[in-house]
Structure 1
Amino acid sequence: MLGSLKVFFDAVRSGGSNEASKVDGSEDAVAALLVKAGTLDGDFGADERQAIEALLAARYACSAEEASKKVDEALKALENSVDFYNFTKVIRDEFDHDQRVELMEMLWEVAYADGVLHDFEASLMRRVTGLIYVTDQESGAARKRVMQKLGLAE
C-alpha cells in the first residue's frame, strides 16, 4: 500500500509521467491493458490468465511461454503504474482504427473470461473506448461478438 502511494506521489511530482510504467511498444501496452481487464474484479484467476495468454499468442504469433512472460511483465508494469493512460496512448499512436476495435474485442474477451462482467471491468471498457478513439457502438458490437463466441446470453 505504501509503495503504491509512493509511486503515485512520485508520478505527481514528475508531472504525471512515471518512468516505471512506460512501455516499450504496442505489445507491452496490449498485454498491460488485457491484464488490467483481467485483474479489476479482484480475482486474477486461471480463466483470465489463459484467455490473455491465448489472445497474446494468437495476436503476436508467439509461443505459450512468451505469452506467459508478457503477462508477468504486464503485471509488474501495472504494479508500478498509477493509471493506464501511457498504455492507451501507445495504442492510439501505433494502431489503426480497425486494430483498436480488435483490441476492444480482446478486452471484452478477457472481461468475460470468467463468464461474468464485473462493474469495474465495465467501467474500464468505457474508459478505454474513449481513450483509444473507438465509438461506443463499435465497442458494443465487439462485446456482442465476444458474448456470441463465448456462448453467453445478453
Structure 2
Amino acid sequence: MFKALRNLLADFGGDSQTRHFREDDHRLAAAALLYHVIAVDGSVDESERVRLHGLLKSLYALDDEETDELVRDAETADQEAVDLYRFTSLLKDRLELAERERVVAMMWDLVYRDGELHEFEDNAIWRVADLLGISNRDRIRLKQDVRSQAVKDA
C-alpha cells in the first residue's frame, strides 16, 4: 500500500526521489539484473561499475547523466526486489530471444571483469537465463564465448 501511495505521489511530482526509469521500462529490468550479478558476490568493485556503465550507455545509446541515473535506479530496484522474476518476466515479454541472450552475455562479461567467477554469480546467471527462456546449451555457449573474449582482451 505504501508503494502505491509513493508511486501516486511521484506521478504528481511530490516525490523528490522519483526514478527516471519507470518500473515497467525494460532498460531498468535489464540494468537491475546486470547490477544484481555484480553485487551477488558481496562486493562491487570499481572495474565492474565502470564496465556496467559502459555496457548500458552503449546498449541504450544514453549520455553519461542518463546512464548514471539508470545505474542508480537499477541498484535501488535490485535492493528492493524480493526475487528476479519481476525483471525477467518483463524482459521475456518485451525482448526477442537474441536480445535476452545479449543480456545474459553482458552478465557473463561483468562477472569476468574482476578476474574470477564466484559460484553465486554463476548460479545467478543460471537462474536468470532459465527465467528468460534461454536453454542451458545457449547459456553455456554464451559463457564460453565471453570467457574466450575476456582471455583475448587480457
RMSD of Structure 2 on Structure 1 (CA) = 1.6
Aligned-partner Cα distance in 2 for 1:45–1:65? 20
Aligned-partner Cα distance in 2 for 1:103–1:78? 16
Aligned runs of 1:3-18 on 2, under 5 Å? none
Aligned to 2:55: 55
CA contact (8 A) 1:23 1:87 kept: no
CA contact (8 A) 1:88 1:128 kept: yes
Aligned to 2:13: none
* TM-score when normalising by structure 1: 0.81
Number of residue pairs matched by the alignment: 132
CA contact (8 A) 1:29 1:87 kept: yes
Q: Which amino acid aligns with 2:137?
A: Q
- Give aligned-pair identity as a percent: 30
Q: Which amino acid aligns with 1:100?
A: R
Aligned to 1:137: 137
Aligned runs of 1:25-64 on 2, under 5 Å? 25-64=25-64
- Give the deviation of 1:119 after TM superposition: 0.7
* TM-score when normalising by structure 2: 0.81
- Give the deviation of 1:32 after TM superposition: 0.2
| Structure 2: stretches of 5+ with no match in the other structure | 4-21
Q: Pick the structure with greater CA Rg.
A: 2
Aligned-partner Cα distance in 2 for 1:115–1:67? 24
| Structure 1: stretches of 5+ with no match in the other structure | 1-6, 8-21
Q: Runs of at least 4 residues of structure 1 off by over 6 A?
A: none
Greater shift, 134-143 or 63-72, is seen at: 63-72
